[in-house]
Amino acid sequence: MATIHVDGKAYEVDGADNLLHACLSLGLDIPYFCWHPAMDSVGACRQCAVKQYKDKNDTQGKLVMSCMTASTDNSWISIDDEEAKTFRANVVEWLMTYHPHDCPVCEEGGHCHLQDVTVMTGHDRRRYDFRKRTHRNQYLGPFVAHEMNRCINCYRCVRFYNDYAGGTDLGVFGSNNNLYFGRHQEGVLESPFAGNLTEVCPTGVFTDQTHSDRYVRKWDMQFAPSVCHQCAVGCNISPGERYGEIRRIENRYHGELNRYFLCDRGRFGYGYVNRTDRPRQPEWRSEGRSEQADDAVALEVDPALDRGADLLRSARRVIGIGSPRASLESNHQLIKLVGRDNFSNGIVAAELACLERMAQLESSCGLPIPTVREVEAHDAVLVLGEDLMHSAARLALAVRQAVLARRDALAEARGIPTWNAEAVKTLAQDSKHPLFIAYPSTTELDEISAGSWQLAPADIARLGFAIAHIIDENAPAVTGLDETFATAAQAVAGQLMAAKRPLVISGGSLESTQVLDAAGSIARALSRRARRAGLMLIRREANSTGLTMLGGRPLEWALDEIVEGRADALVVLENDLYVRLPEARVEAALDTATALVVLDHQRTRTWQRARLGLAAASFTEADGTLVNLEGRAQRFYQVFDTSYIRPESRIHQSWRWLHALRISLIRGEDSTITLDQATEACAQDYPALADIVASSLSADYRVKGVKLARSPHRSSGRTSLRADIAVSEPRTSQDPDTPFTFSMEGYSGFDRPRKEVPFAWAPGWNSHQAWNKFTDEVGGHLRGGDPGVRLVAPRPGAYRYASDIPAAFEPQQDRWQLLVLPRLFGGEETSSRSAPIEERAELPTIGLSSADAARRGFEQGASLTLETETACLTLPLRCDQRLPSGIVSLPAGISSEFSSGDWARLEASGPDHKEARE
C-alpha cells in the first residue's frame, strides 16, 4: 500500500500501479488515450499529464505522464494544476488538427472516448486553420468498418490486435503524422477478436459494420445485461435495440470472465435474432406432412394453447426434448410439463456421455475450475483435445495471456514495473510460460506453444495417461508407448510439475470420454502435488453445463421412444433435431409421432414439421439462467418487448409458453408466471441448482426506490417510435419479470453498486470506458460483485484413476476415422444463421493428411466424396500437413449425417459430380 496526495488530498492506493491506474481507480478523472487497463502503459499520447512534486514543500513540480509514473508512497501530484490542464488541452488540440470533426455522421458519436476527453480537457476553439491530411479507407471484412481519417494515432488497435490477441495482419505503416493503421492490403481481418477493435479504438476508425448497417446512437438504444449464447464460455454482453431490432452487441464488463473483450462470433453472431423469417406467432399445420408449400396458419395465443393442450391430452405419452441453447427455466418448465421420466435434454448420446464425464471429473478429481480470469494467472497449460480458438475463443485469448504472463514475472525480477508494457515486452522477448497442445490438427495457439502434437483422439488420450503416470506413479501406465511419445510425456509432465499453477484444459470437442479420462487422471495426479492447479473442461453450447445438471436422457432415446411406439407425442424446446442427428433418424421419429409441438425463435426444419409451433423469444427478448463452463449460473435479461414495435407478434419466453400450456393441459386457473417464480421452481426441484435464485437480481430489486433504466437518460423519440403504426402512444411496456424498465426512466447511475448493468455510462464518460466507473479498481471487479454464482465445487478424494487406456490408433488402408472439428464461424447453429457470420465462415473442406492424399493421388482442392454406411458428402480437399495419417476431418456445422468416430471411405468425385456441384 502507498499513500498518494492528489491536489492536497491523501489517498491509500496499491503502490504497484501507475498513477493513472491508481487515480482512475479512486474515481478521479484523468483523460487518456493510449493506455488501456488490459494493455497497460506506453506513454505515447501524452494525454494523461499531471504535475508531480518532489515533496510536500515543492511548489514548482514538473509534468509527468501519469500512466508512466509509479504511484510510489508519498507521491504528491496535482491533476488540477494549470500547466497540466493547459497541456492536456493542447494534446487534444493537436489531435484535432487532423481529426475530421465529423461527429454528426460518425458512428462513434455519442459513445466516443475522443469526444469525452475533448470535453473533459476543455478544448473548444479551433485555431488550426490549414489543410488536413486524408487517407483512403480499407475494406476489412463483414465485421469491422474502417475510417482512417478519424485516427488519432493512439496505437491501441495494433497493441491489442498484435500484442494482446496475437493477430498478424493489422499494422501501423508510415511515420510522422502520416501514420496508417490498417492491413498491408484490403481484406478480411483474420483475428477472431478483430471486433474488439471497435471498443479498443477511442474514436470512430474501427466501428461495428453490422451496427453501421442499421445505425442508431447509443443513447437511443435499449440495453439489458445479457449473456452470450454462442458458446459455453458465457461472456457478458450488452445488446442494444431500437425499433424492435438488435443493433449491436457490446462487451459487458465481468471481472472474472470476459473483462474487456469478446470474440467475433459472440459480438457479430446476433443476426438470427433480427431475421425476418422468424416465427412471430403460433403456427398450426394440418395433419400429415405437407410436401408442398407450407400450409401453416397463424394462431392467437389462447387457441394455440387450447390446441396444444388438446394434442397432448390425446397423446398416450408425451416426450419432451429440451435444449442446451435454452435457459434452465425453459427446460425446467418442459420437465414440469412432461415429467422427469419423459424428458430428454436434446443432446446426442456421445456428447452427453462427455458432458456427464466432465461433470463427474469436476466434482471429484480434486482440482478447482479456474475462472477465465484465473486462467491468465496459470503458469503452465496443457490442452488435451481442444482447439480453443474454435471451441471457446474467449478462453483461447485468456490462455494466450497466461502464456505471455511470463513477461511480467521476468520484469518483476528485474525491477521493471509490469505496467510498463513496451519495456516488459522488450525485456522478455520470446520468453513464455509453457503451453502444450495435443489435438488432431494444428491450432492457432500452436505458435505460442512449447510443444504441440497432432494426434488421433486415442493417441491424445494415451499421451495424457502417460503424463499422469509420470506425475503420479499410482496412475496406470501406458503400455507400448513409442519413444517420441514418452519423451513428449516427460517434457509435459516435467513442466506441469515445475509450475506453481499448472492448468489442464480438455473438453468434449472430440467426443472422446477417453481423452476426458486422461485429462482427469492428470488433474487427479496434479491435485496430489500442486496446490493451485486447475482443470477446465470445454462444453459446446451456452447451457450444456446447466442441462447436464438438470439431467435427462439423450436425444436418441427420445426418438426411439417414439419410433418404437412407447410414446406418440413430442414437445421440442428450442432445438433443431436435424442439426443433431441424421435426417433419416429424425424423420422416422417425426413421421411416427402423432403430435409435434415445437417452441423456437428460428424457422428451423424441425419447426417446419410442427403441428403446433409456439413462437419463442430469443435471448434478446427473454430472461433466464444459463450455466457456463466455469459452472457459473448467470442471468440474461430481456432487452426489449417485441410486441411494442410489432403489436401483431405473439412471441413469448419459452418457460412462459410451457407453463401456460401445462396449465391449459390440466385445465388450471392461473396461467401467469414470472421469471422469479420460474427460477425458484427450478431451484426447488434441483438442489444442485439451489443457488441460481441468488445468481442475479429479482424483479423487486430497486435502487433509490426506482427500477433500473434500460435506456440512457438522453433517449429520444420515445413518443414517435410507433408513429408509423398509430398516432396514439400506448403505455410503455411493463416488465413483471425483472427490475428493469423499458425506457430511460429509472436508475442508470454508476455510484450505487449493482451487479447487473445494462449499459455503461457515467457523467462525462459516454463511451464504454465508463466501465472503469463501475469497478472497484480499474480492471478489477464490479463494485456490486461480478454477475452470477458458481455452482460447482470440487470434492477431493472421490476420484479413481481410469484404467481403460485405449490402444494406439491404427490407420486403416482404405478407411479413415472421421472427426468433426469445431469451428468458430459456421460451426454453431444459431450464429450461422446471421449473414456476417455466414460471410466470414470459410468454405467447408475435407481435411486429410498430405501423406494420405499423396498416397491416394488426391490433389489439394480436388473434389472428394466422403462415404459412410448411411451418407455421403462431396467437398474440396484440404491437405493438412500435420493431420495424423488415417484421420479425415470435417468442419462442424456442415452435416449432421456424420459424427466423430465414424469410419468413412474417400473417393475422388468424377467430373460429372464436380460439374453438378458447381
Partner 1 sequence: MKAISKDSRLRYHCQLRQSAAERQADTHPLTWRLREDGARVGFEEYCAKEGYQSATHTLKERTPDNVIDTMKQANVRGRGGGGFSAGVKWGLTQVGDQLPRGYLICNADEMEPGTFKDRLLLEQLPHLLIESMIIAGYANRSYYGYIFLRGEYVEAASSVAMAIEEARQAGLLGSDIGGSGFDFDIALHTGAGRYICGEETALINSLEGKRANPRAKPPFPGQSGAWGKPTVVNNVETLCNVPSVMQHGADWHQGLSGRLSEDGGTKLYGVSGLVERPGLWELPIGTSGREILERAGGMRQGHTLKAWLPGGGSTGFLLPEHLDLPMDFDTIGQYGSRLGTGVIAVVSERQSIVSLLRNLEQFFARESCGWCTPCRDGLPWTVKILQALERGEGKPEYIEILEQHTIGLNSPRTFCAHAPGAMMPLESALKLFRAEFEAGIASTSLEGVS
Give the SS3 label for residue 183. coil
**420 is a site residue for partner 1 (CB under 8 A):** yes
* Cβ distance to partner 1 smaller for residue 41 or 896: 41
Q: Residue 859 contacts by C-beta under 8 Å, 6 or more apart in sequence?
A: 853, 877
**157 is a site residue for partner 1 (CB under 8 A):** no
Nearest-10 crossing angle of helices 328-338, 675-685 = 70
What's the min distance (Å) between Cβ of 5 and partner 1? 20
Cell numbers at 78, concatenated? 496535482
Q: 378 to 417, contacts with partner 1 by CB under 8 A? A: 414, 416
Place of cell 409451433: 613
What's the min distance (Å) between Cβ of 684 and partner 1? 58
In this structure, the number of other CB atoms found within 10 A of the CB of residue 752 comes to 11
CA 43/CA 175 separation, integer angstroms: 17
* Cβ distance to partner 1 smaller for residue 429 or 728: 429
Among the listed residues 54, 56, 62, 136, the single contact to partner 1 using CB under 8 A? 62
**426 is a site residue for partner 1 (CB under 8 A):** yes
What's the min distance (Å) between Cβ of 49 and partner 1? 7
**664 is a site residue for partner 1 (CB under 8 A):** no
Cβ atoms 41, 425 nearer than 8 A? no
Which DSSP state fits 159?
Answer: I
Give the CA distances from residue 837 to residues 213, 214, 867, in Å, rounded to whole numbers and listed in that order.
Answer: 15, 16, 28
**789 is a site residue for partner 1 (CB under 8 A):** no
* Cβ distance to partner 1 smaller for residue 69 or 653: 69
Contacting range for partner 1; rule: CB under 8 A; set: 61-69, 396-404, 597-605, 658-666: 61-69
Per the DSSP assignment, residues forming a β-bridge with 790 are 632
**463 is a site residue for partner 1 (CB under 8 A):** no
Among the listed residues 29, 310, 422, 907, the single contact to partner 1 using CB under 8 A? 422
Contacting range for partner 1; rule: CB under 8 A; set: 170-178, 237-245, 360-368, 539-547: 170-178
* Cβ distance to partner 1 smaller for residue 94 or 801: 94
**54 is a site residue for partner 1 (CB under 8 A):** no
Give the CA distances from residue 775 to residues 113, 740, 768, 778, in Å, rounded to whole numbers and listed in that order.
Answer: 18, 21, 12, 6
Contacting range for partner 1; rule: CB under 8 A; set: 140-148, 256-264, 422-430, 446-454: 422-430
DSSP H/E element including 226: strand 226-227
Short-list 264, 160, 215, CA closest to 840 = 264
What's the min distance (Å) between Cβ of 177 and partner 1? 5
* Cβ distance to partner 1 smaller for residue 174 or 730: 174
* Cβ distance to partner 1 smaller for residue 369 or 428: 428
Cβ atoms 307, 299 nearer than 8 A? yes
At residue 870's C-alpha, the angle toward residues 869 and 875, to 5°, is: 95
Query: Where would I find the H helices in 686-744?
Result: none
**730 is a site residue for partner 1 (CB under 8 A):** no
- What is the x/- site pattern for partner 1, positions 130-149, by CB under 8 A? x-------------------
* Cβ distance to partner 1 smaller for residue 423 or 562: 423
Among the listed residues 23, 235, 237, 428, the single contact to partner 1 using CB under 8 A? 428
What's the min distance (Å) between Cβ of 103 and partner 1? 19
* Cβ distance to partner 1 smaller for residue 42 or 614: 42
Give the CA distances from residue 203 to residues 113, 132, 170, 595, in Å, rounded to whole numbers and listed in that order.
Answer: 6, 17, 17, 55
Among the listed residues 175, 276, 728, 813, the single contact to partner 1 using CB under 8 A? 175
* Cβ distance to partner 1 smaller for residue 129 or 912: 129
What's the min distance (Å) between Cβ of 85 and partner 1? 13
Q: Residue 251 contacts by C-beta under 8 Å, 6 or more apart in sequence?
A: 196, 199, 235, 236, 237, 238, 258, 260, 261, 262, 267, 768
Q: 9 to 48, contacts with partner 1 by CB under 8 A? A: 42-47
* Cβ distance to partner 1 smaller for residue 13 or 95: 95
Among the listed residues 2, 26, 148, 179, the single contact to partner 1 using CB under 8 A? 179
CA 179/CA 353 separation, integer angstroms: 54
* Cβ distance to partner 1 smaller for residue 62 or 340: 62
Cell numbers at 596, concatenated? 409435434
* Cβ distance to partner 1 smaller for residue 179 or 298: 179
Among left, alpha and beta (phi > 0; psi -120 to 50; other), residue 98 is alpha
Cα torsion 98, 103, 104, 107 to 10°: value is 120
Contacting range for partner 1; rule: CB under 8 A; set: 87-95, 264-272, 474-482, 706-714: 87-95
- Number of amino acids touching partner 1 (CB under 8 A): 41
**423 is a site residue for partner 1 (CB under 8 A):** yes
**87 is a site residue for partner 1 (CB under 8 A):** yes
Q: Are strands 435-439 and 380-384 parallel, antiparallel or unpaired?
A: parallel
* Cβ distance to partner 1 smaller for residue 131 or 531: 131
* Cβ distance to partner 1 smaller for residue 98 or 809: 98
What's the min distance (Å) between Cβ of 100 and partner 1? 14
**98 is a site residue for partner 1 (CB under 8 A):** yes
CA 831/CA 205 separation, integer angstroms: 26
**174 is a site residue for partner 1 (CB under 8 A):** yes
CA 864/CA 192 separation, integer angstroms: 29
What's the min distance (Å) between Cβ of 90 and partner 1? 5
Q: 203 to 262, contacts with partner 1 by CB under 8 A? A: none
DSSP H/E element including 873: strand 872-880
DSSP H/E element including 78: strand 75-78
Short-list 45, 197, 220, 65, CA closest to 766 = 220
Per the DSSP assignment, residues forming a β-bridge with 344 are 321, 553
Short-list 502, 487, 489, CA closest to 535 = 502
Q: 487 to 526, contacts with partner 1 by CB under 8 A? A: none
DSSP H/E element including 236: strand 236-242
**160 is a site residue for partner 1 (CB under 8 A):** no
Q: 102 to 131, contacts with partner 1 by CB under 8 A? A: 127-130
Q: Residue 135 contacts by C-beta under 8 Å, 6 or more apart in sequence?
A: 148, 149, 151, 180
Contacting range for partner 1; rule: CB under 8 A; set: 423-431, 530-538, 581-589, 640-648: 423-431
Query: Where would I find the H helices in 35-133?
Result: 82-96, 113-121
What's the min distance (Å) between Cβ of 155 and partner 1? 8
**155 is a site residue for partner 1 (CB under 8 A):** yes
CA 915/CA 905 separation, integer angstroms: 21
Give the SS3 label for residue 286. coil
**53 is a site residue for partner 1 (CB under 8 A):** no
What's the min distance (Å) between Cβ of 32 and partner 1? 12
What's the min distance (Å) between Cβ of 75 and partner 1? 16
Give the SS3 label for residue 739. coil
Task: Give the 3-state DSSP-derived string for 765-797, with helices as H, strands as E and coil as C.
Answer: ECCHHHHHHCECCCCCCECCCCCCEECCCCCCC
What's the min distance (Å) between Cβ of 21 and partner 1? 16
Residue 173 C-alpha from the chain's centroid: 32
* Cβ distance to partner 1 smaller for residue 130 or 669: 130
Contacting range for partner 1; rule: CB under 8 A; set: 5-13, 57-65, 468-476, 819-827: 57-65
Among the listed residues 2, 26, 172, 688, the single contact to partner 1 using CB under 8 A? 172
Per the DSSP assignment, residues forming a β-bridge with 538 are 507
Which residues sit at the interface with partner 1, rule CB under 8 A?
42-47, 49, 62-64, 68, 87, 90-91, 94-95, 97-98, 127-130, 152-153, 155, 172, 174-179, 414, 416, 420, 422-423, 426-429
